[in-house]
Amino acid sequence: MNESFPRHESSISFPVDYSSILERISQIDPVHYGKTRNFIDGAVTYLSPYISRGVISGKQVQDSVLAKGHLPLAIEKFLQELAWREYFQRVWQVKSEALFADMKQTQAEVIHQQMTSAVADASTGITAIDDQILELYKTGYMHNHVRMYVASISCNIGKAHWLAPSRWMYYHLLDGDLASNTCSWQWVAGTFSSKKYYGNQENINKYTRTHQSRSFLDMPVEQLPGAPLPDVLQSTVDLTLTTRLPKVPPPIVDATKPTLIYNSYNLDPLWRKEEEVNRVLLLEPSHFEKFPVSEKVLQWIIRLSGNIPHCQLMVGEVAELEAYYPHSALAQSVLVSKEHPAFDYYPGIKDPRDWMYPEVAGYFHSFFSYWKKCATFLQ
C-alpha cells in the first residue's frame, strides 16, 4: 500500500556494523537529550533499533554514560527513558499473552477494530504527521513523540481500537519491540493508563517545528475528546501484513557442540563470544506469522547478524533445530538461548538478559512505581 508513495530526503540512517553502533553510544549527550528529546530534531540517540534487537543493552548504554562522570540525578530523564523499555519487558514477562488485550480497562468509544486509511496512506492532512509516516516507510523509524500523536489520531480521534494500528506500526519499525510498542499504544488509548492521551495542532507544531493551522486538531486540547469524528478519518482498511522469509539451505550443525540460538530480539555479538559452539539465527515462520514484519525490517535483522562470527541463518521451527540432537535430554543441555517472553517455549538453557536493574522484577502498576524502586540502585 505504501510502496507507491513519493520518497523524500532523510538524514536518518542506521548502520549495522558494531563499531558504528559503539560510536553512536559514545556520542550520547544525556543532558541535551533531557532538554530536547520531545522535539523531532532533538538530541535523541537513535539507539532504540539496536537495543530492541539485542545488539546492545540498556545497561550497556547506561554504564557508558555513567562512566563519563554524569551524576544520575542530572541525567535522570535519559535514564528513565532507557528504563521505560525495561519496564515494558517486565510487564510482558508477567502478563504474557494478556499483553495483547486491553490490560487495565476496556478502550472507550471504539467504533471499529481496523486500520484508519488516512493513517496508513499518510493522508491525514496533518502535514507533520503525514511526513513522518512516510519517514517510517522509508527508514523504519519514527520519533517517539510522533508515535504518540499517530496513536492518538488513530485511537482517540479516529476511534479505532489500538490493536490493528499497533500491529501496523510494529510491522514497519526497525526497533519493533512488542512490549514497548503494545504498551505504548495501550497507554495512549487509555487501556494501560488512567486517561487517554491527546495532542493538538499547537502541540504538534511546537515539537515538529511546523506552523499548520485549521486542521481537525486545531483546538484547545481539552476540547478534543468531545470533537466529532473528522471525515478524513472515517475510512478504514483491512491490513494484510505478511513476512516473506528467505529460502536458505539448512544450517550445518556439529552435534558434538552446543548451539546458541539467536533471534530477532537477540543479536548480541558478544554473547558467549569465546565459546566453541554452533551459532544459528533462527527465523521461525510461526513467530512471523503471528508478529509479521516488513521486508525492510527482516533484511535489517539479517544484516545485523553479520556482527556475530560464524552465525548461520536458519528458517524453520525450533523443533527442527532440536532434531539435530537425537536425544531430547541432550538437547536440553546443549541448546542455549537468552530469556525472552516471545520465545519462552525454546528448549534448553536460557541465559538471563543484561538488565539495567536485575533486582527489580515482577509487575508494577505504573512506570513511576517501578522507577522509584530502580532509582534506589543508582544511589
Percent of the chain surpassing pLDDT 70: 96
Percent of the chain surpassing pLDDT 90: 94
Residue 250 resides in a domain: no
Residue 249 resides in a domain: no
Would you say 176 and 300 are in contact if contact means Cβ atoms under 8 Å apart?
A: no
Q: What is the pLDDT of residue 196?
A: 97
Is 95 a residue whose pLDDT tops 90? yes
For residues 366 and 282, state if they share a domain: no
Residue 245 resides in a domain: no
Cell numbers for 331, please give them: 538437547
For 67, the domain range is 1-240+355-379
Residue 115 resides in a domain: yes
How far is CA 47 from each of CA 65, 292, 309, rounded to the nearest angstrom?
13, 22, 22
278: which strand partners? 259
Angle at 235 between CA 229 and CA 236, to 5 degrees: 115
Domain count, the chain: 2
Cell numbers for 142, please give them: 519514527
For residues 35 and 89, state if they share a domain: yes
For residues 108 and 128, state if they share a domain: yes
Which position has the higher pLDDT, 328 or 349?
A: 349
Residue 82 resides in a domain: yes
Is 2 a residue whose pLDDT tops 80? no
pLDDT tier at 183, thresholds 50, 70, 90: very high
Q: What is the pLDDT of residue 177?
A: 97
Is 371 a residue whose pLDDT tops 80? yes
Is 329 a residue whose pLDDT tops 70? no
For residues 129 and 154, state if they share a domain: yes
Is 342 a residue whose pLDDT tops 60? yes
For residues 28 and 161, state if they share a domain: yes
Helices (H), 124-192: 127-139, 144-151, 163-172, 178-189
For residues 91 and 61, state if they share a domain: yes
Would you say 260 and 280 are in contact if contact means Cβ atoms under 8 Å apart?
A: yes
pLDDT digits (tens, 9 = 90+) for 291-304: 999 999 999 999 99
pLDDT tier at 332, thresholds 50, 70, 90: confident
Q: Which helix (H) or strand (E) holds 313?
A: strand 311-315
For residues 208 and 276, state if they share a domain: no
pLDDT digits (tens, 9 = 90+) for 9-34: 456 889 999 999 999 999 999 999 99
pLDDT tier at 3, thresholds 50, 70, 90: very low
For residues 323 and 341, state if they share a domain: yes
Find where cell 516473506 sits: 244
For residues 368 and 338, state if they share a domain: no
Q: Could you say which DSSP state residue 46 is in?
A: -
Residue 175 resides in a domain: yes
For residues 209 and 280, state if they share a domain: no
For residues 66 and 130, state if they share a domain: yes
Mean predicted confidence (pLDDT) in 238-245 = 95
pTM score of the predicted model? 0.94
Residue 170 amino acid letter: Y
pLDDT digits (tens, 9 = 90+) for 194-235: 999 999 999 999 999 999 999 999 999 999 999 999 999 999
Cell numbers for 7, please give them: 520518497
For residues 302 and 340, state if they share a domain: yes
pLDDT tier at 328, thresholds 50, 70, 90: low
Residue 248 resides in a domain: no
How far is CA 99 from each of CA 88, 169, 178, rounded to the nearest angstrom?
10, 16, 9
Q: Could you say which DSSP state residue 155 is in?
A: I
Residue 236 resides in a domain: yes
